[in-house]
């Protein structure tokens, strides 16, 4: 009878330290495969496998598409690729971003839940926003174990706190206590006979993560059409639910929680304001230039005053927009501060 032999771990800002602590405490004969997804820059060198290999006794490597899933090994999602679990092996996928990230935590957790059901243990560490909540809910839905780092200890508590709000979490522990728990769970036998059937929605989520077409995956059947559009591609957004947790996915595959959707909209508004400011500044320069050119040709021309009047009007509008833009950046909200990358998100070679 198998144990909890598939451990999936997700984290973002502030997660490297607890992840290292966790790996340091895992035994060399752990009878479980460990898969890790951390939010990372798509352009940064992935130092996490090296750091984890040095921290503990288990080998840690960057996941390779199609490689077998083996016990006693740690697999880390590559930058700019989702890590997806299928029966017996791993896939790395450049499907659409989820919760504004690739790699994202939800695809790892959801795919593991589909592939291994109650044999899965999902662990959510420190991080901003709420990626991983829907994935941890999927782990629980399929009979697995849900574990979170104690939010009171986490450097960025938003991620584990969101899971605690929407998922019936089994264990909420400090980072130092996670490894002994996982070692014990890996040896506990799991009954798979009463595993709940995989929902059509969860199958769809996993198919999309494997670079499947969202429409062909049945998105229109399981999602409720909304009046919103995807900030990334402007496609129609459909609303989905993981228990009480509301999510959105567009027909091309991008996925958002409500909070990540709001964060993306804030960035879109910022971009629009800056573009408007740029256009107004350019119009001031152009109309001033034309007025000076006409003044040299004919100082009495009525069009000189007209161009200068338009330039002054554009300048006033630009000043108003500039004030709006600057006010948005004086002090970030508590939520946006929590979502900012920490120092360990841009890793350098030791």
Angle between helices 133-141 and 158-166 (to 10 degrees): 40
Q: What is the dihedral of CA 174, 59, 63, 233, to 10 degrees?
A: 30
C-alpha to C-alpha distance for 26 and 215, rounded to whole angstroms: 42
Of these residues, 12, 95, 111, 162, which one is catalytic? 12
**Cβ pair 338, 156 in contact under 8 A:** yes
Neighbours of 183 (CB within 10 A): 16
Who contacts 334 (Cβ-Cβ below 8 Å, separation ≥6)?
none
Of these residues, 5, 106, 130, 131, which one is catalytic? 131
**Cβ pair 172, 136 in contact under 8 A:** no
For the question of residue 298 being annotated catalytic, the response is no
CA-CA distances (angstroms) from residue 318 to 247, 283, 289?
Answer: 37, 10, 17
C-alpha to C-alpha distance for 22 and 19, rounded to whole angstroms: 5
For the question of residue 12 being annotated catalytic, the response is yes
Of these residues, 4, 39, 251, 254, which one is catalytic? 39
For the question of residue 131 being annotated catalytic, the response is yes
Burial class (CB in 10 A: 0-12, 13-18, 19+), 146: buried
Q: Give just the sign of the alpha carbon dihedral 212, 214, 218, 219.
A: positive
Residues labelled catalytic: 12, 39, 131
């Amino acid at each position: 009878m198998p144990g909890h032999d598939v451990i999936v771990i997700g984290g973002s800002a502030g997660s490297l330290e607890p992840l290292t602590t966790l790996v340091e405490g895992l035994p060399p004969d752990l009878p479980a495969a460990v898969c890790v997804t951390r939010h990372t820059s798509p352009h940064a060198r992935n130092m996490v496998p090296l750091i984890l290999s040095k921290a503990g006794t288990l080998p840690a490597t960057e996941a390779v598409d199609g490689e077998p899933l083996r016990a006693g090994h740690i697999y880390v999602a590559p930058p700019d690729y989702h890590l997806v679990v299928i029966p017996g092996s791993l896939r790395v996928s450049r499907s659409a971003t989820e919760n504004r990230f690739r790699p994202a935590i939800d695809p790892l957790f959801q795919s593991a839940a589909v592939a291994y059901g109650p044999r899965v243990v999902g662990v959510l560490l420190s991080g901003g926003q709420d990626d991983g909540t829907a994935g941890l809910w999927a782990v629980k839905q399929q009979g697995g174990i849900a574990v979170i780092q104690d939010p009171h200890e986490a450097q960025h508590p938003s991620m584990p706190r969101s899971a605690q709000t929407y998922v019936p979490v089994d264990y909420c522990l400090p980072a130092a206590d996670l490894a002994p728990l996982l070692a014990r769970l890996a040896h506990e036998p799991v009954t798979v006979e009463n595993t709940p059937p995989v929902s059509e929605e969860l199958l769809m989520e996993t198919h999309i993560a494997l670079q499947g077409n969202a429409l062909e995956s049945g998105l229109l059947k399981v999602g409720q059409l909304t009046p919103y559009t995807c900030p990334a591609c402007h496609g129609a957004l459909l609303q989905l639910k993981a228990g009480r947790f509301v999510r959105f996915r567009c027909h091309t595959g991008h996925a958002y929680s409500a909070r990540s959707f709001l964060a993306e909209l804030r960035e879109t508004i910022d971009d629009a304001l800056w573009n408007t400011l740029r256009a107004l500044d350019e119009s001031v320069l152009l109309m001033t230039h034309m007025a000076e050119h006409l003044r040299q040709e004919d100082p009495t021309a009525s069009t000189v005053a007209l161009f200068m009047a338009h330039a002054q009007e554009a300048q006033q509008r630009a000043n108003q927009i500039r004030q709006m833009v600057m006010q948005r950046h004086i002090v970030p909200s508590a939520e946006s501060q929590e979502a900012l990358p920490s120092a360990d998100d841009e890793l350098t070679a030791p």
